Amino acid sequence: MNPSLPPPSALSDPSLTPSDITNALDLLFEPSPILHALTLPIIQGASPPFATYADLIGAVETQLKALAANGDTQQLDTILGSHPRLGEKKVDSALSRKEQAAMGQDADQANDFAALNAMYEQRFPGLRFVTFVNARPRSVIAVELKSRVERGDIAAERIAAIEAMCAIANDRASKLAGSALS
């Protein structure tokens, strides 16, 4: 069975359980108990309810950028770390597996990406490289990763990761809910 999302306005329905809402969040962002705790009150208290997933994702992006601005990097880094490493063989999320498969890889490229991830995580302790793959080849992703490591700005890196995570969520929303609901 293919995953799907309910209409975004339905997420504010008081009869929904928190797990109904977190299931939708997990499809959009990857499972993250901290993201659930931060976002559930926003969704449940939305008045009027979110009309589009883009609006909901925008509210999450604003919330995550506020964490970054307020220096609450431990929670933020945990949320960003919910995304699997690019090129990992074991990826729990079916959507992430499909998105990463679009990049294609051979064994040498997988080893190269493991080294790139390690370089990134050494430069930015506690963070994981997050980018919107969007069917770009591994060679392009590798150049982006190296560029972000060379920039060396952890605050800018957190913002880039938030923006990438939300771009991924918007892409997933458009595919899972259909263009009329995204």
Residue 178 confidence (pLDDT):
57
- DSSP class of 2: -
Residue 7 lies in a domain: no
Residue 2 domain-assigned (yes or no) = no
pTM for the structure as a whole? 0.84
pLDDT of residue 102: 45
4 in a domain, yes or no? no
Per-position DSSP letters for 128-155, written without gaps between them? ------TT--HHHHHHHHHHHHHH--HH
Is residue 24 situated within a structural domain?
yes
Query: Which residues of 17-165 form beta strands (DSSP E)?
Result: none
C-alpha triplet 176, 138, 151: angle, nearest 5° = 100
Q: At what angle do helices 73-80 and 154-177 cross, to 10 degrees?
A: 40
Better-predicted residue by pLDDT, 59 or 13: 59
In a domain, 98, yes or no: yes
More confidently predicted of 182 and 12: 12
Q: What spatial distance separates the first Cα and last Cα of the chain, rounded to whole Å?
A: 21
Domain that holds residue 115: 13-177
Q: Is residue 17 part of a domain?
A: yes
Return the pLDDT at 34: 96
Q: Report pLDDT for 103.
A: 47
Cβ atoms of 57 and 172 closer than 8 Å: no
Token digits of residue 177:
């809910």
Residue 180, pLDDT score: 39
pLDDT at 16: 86
Q: What is the pLDDT of residue 15?
A: 87
Q: Encode pLDDT of 18-76 as tens digits.
A: 998 999 999 999 999 999 999 999 998 888 899 999 999 999 999 999 999 999 899 99
**Within a domain: residue 131?**
yes
How many domains, in total, are found in the chain? 1
129: in domain:
yes
pLDDT recorded at residue 99 = 47
Which tens digits make up the pLDDT trace of 76-129?
Answer: 999 999 988 887 655 455 554 454 444 455 444 556 888 999 999 999 999 999
pLDDT at 54: 96
**What's the CATH code of the domain at 151?**
1.10.3330.10
pLDDT at 114: 87
Q: Is the dihedral of CA 73, 74, 78, 81 positive or negative?
A: positive
132: which residues sit within 8 A by CB, 6+ positions away?
A: 164, 167, 168, 171
pLDDT in tens, 167-181: 999 999 999 875 333
CB count, 10 Å around CB of 21?
A: 20
Give pLDDT, residue 3: 79
